[in-house]
Amino acid sequence: FKFFKCCYYGVMNKLILMLLLLACATPETPYKKMNNGLGFLVKEGNPWNESVFKGNSRTRSDVASAYAGLAAIEFCKSKNKVTFISETVDRSQRETFNQVSSSIDFVHNPFGWHGNDFFYDDFYFRNRFRRNRFRHRFGYRNPYGFNLFVPMRTYYSRPVYIQFPEFVSKFKCVDSYYQLSSKLTLEKISKELVHTFAKDFKGGLLVKKSDGADLKTWDLILSVNNKRIESEEELYSEALSDNKGNLSAKILRNQSIQNISINSKDVTAKLKEVNQGIISTTCDRIKRTKQQLPKICNS
């Protein structure tokens, strides 16, 4: 029994060590085109394109998010356009499992023969600093015999989380981009509430807060530059991109439909600075990890 026990613990220790070495040796997913489900992939759509990056469990979330943004900028750069990223969505998958560990404590043996106390006391006083060794040796050999202490194994369980990062950047390639001069807080309104006034089956955007004079609080935006608006995505992707700064809007104010002008400003230069900042930061990290630099890092 002792031989098999030693073999069992020896094999288990080697197996655990091997798994730890393999886990540490597995690198994070590099910046590359998607292969076997890992890497980046650009999907063209209307009105938004999507840049997806999936990584293994060794890849950090902030790295995966940066790689998704870099892939979007690289896609638009190939078309000599500027990248406007509306949002980056976290679609990471998380797995949970229980990790079990154990420990051995030596407790009093209720079935031990206390006539052996003299031998134990004599051993204790002469070999005080080897007391635990005495208990361990006798406890394993004879748990119900003459010894006063027996080993008791206690098991512990704790949840362990493993994350496989997946980030999606929604973006659009533009020649120029304009932004509303007013800072707005908007809320989407359903088509059922808007139908009475707009006479169609589309919703609108309610201005809940505004610091400008053109759009006021509680205005309901119906269309911008003759393009019907139902959501903030449509406002930013259709009405504000490549509009050359001339904005006209149809709104519902005081229960009547009005046509007004909206002030906007050209933020193309600022957008280019943001794109270049993402390129510089992400390419520096790729260089530190000794990966092959993509073309966009050398442009």
Q: What per-residue confidence (pLDDT) applies to 183? A: 86
Residue 275 has a pLDDT of 96
Rounded-to-10 torsion of CA 242, 245, 246, 251: 90
- Token output for 291: 């990966």
Query: Quick one: average pLDDT of 1-22?
Result: 50
* Span of 10-19, 89-98, 125-134, 240-249 with lowest mean pLDDT: 125-134
**Does residue 6 surpass a pLDDT of 70?**
no
Of the pLDDT bands very low, low, confident and very high (cuts 50, 70, 90), residue 49 is: very high
252-269 per-position pLDDT tens digit:
998 889 999 888 888 889
Question: Within 13 Å and on the Cβ side, how many CA atoms surround 37?
Answer: 4
Give the pLDDT confidence score for residue 262 in this predicted structure. Answer: 85
Confidence tier at 234 by pLDDT (50, 70, 90): confident
Model confidence pLDDT, tens digit, residues 158-200: 887 888 999 999 999 988 888 888 888 899 998 888 887 888 8
**Residue 19 dihedral angles phi and psi, to the nearest 5°:** -65, -40
CA distance 121 to 114: 11
Which pLDDT tens digit goes with each residue over 102-147? Answer: 887 776 666 555 444 434 444 444 444 444 444 434 434 444 455 5
Greatest CA separation found in the chain? 104
Residue scoring higher pLDDT (278 or 18) = 278
At 214, the amino acid letter reads D
Residue with more model confidence, 153 or 82: 82
Pairing relation of β-strands 220-224 and 184-189?
unpaired
Q: What is the pLDDT of residue 85?
A: 92
The residue that leads in pLDDT, 71 or 6, is 71
Average pLDDT in the 204-212 region? 89
Q: Helices 61-77 and 268-288 sit at what angle, rounded to 10 degrees?
A: 120
Q: Does residue 59 or residue 148 have the better pLDDT?
A: 59
pLDDT in tens, 68-111: 999 999 999 999 999 999 889 999 988 887 877 888 777 666 65
Average pLDDT, rounded, for the chain: 79
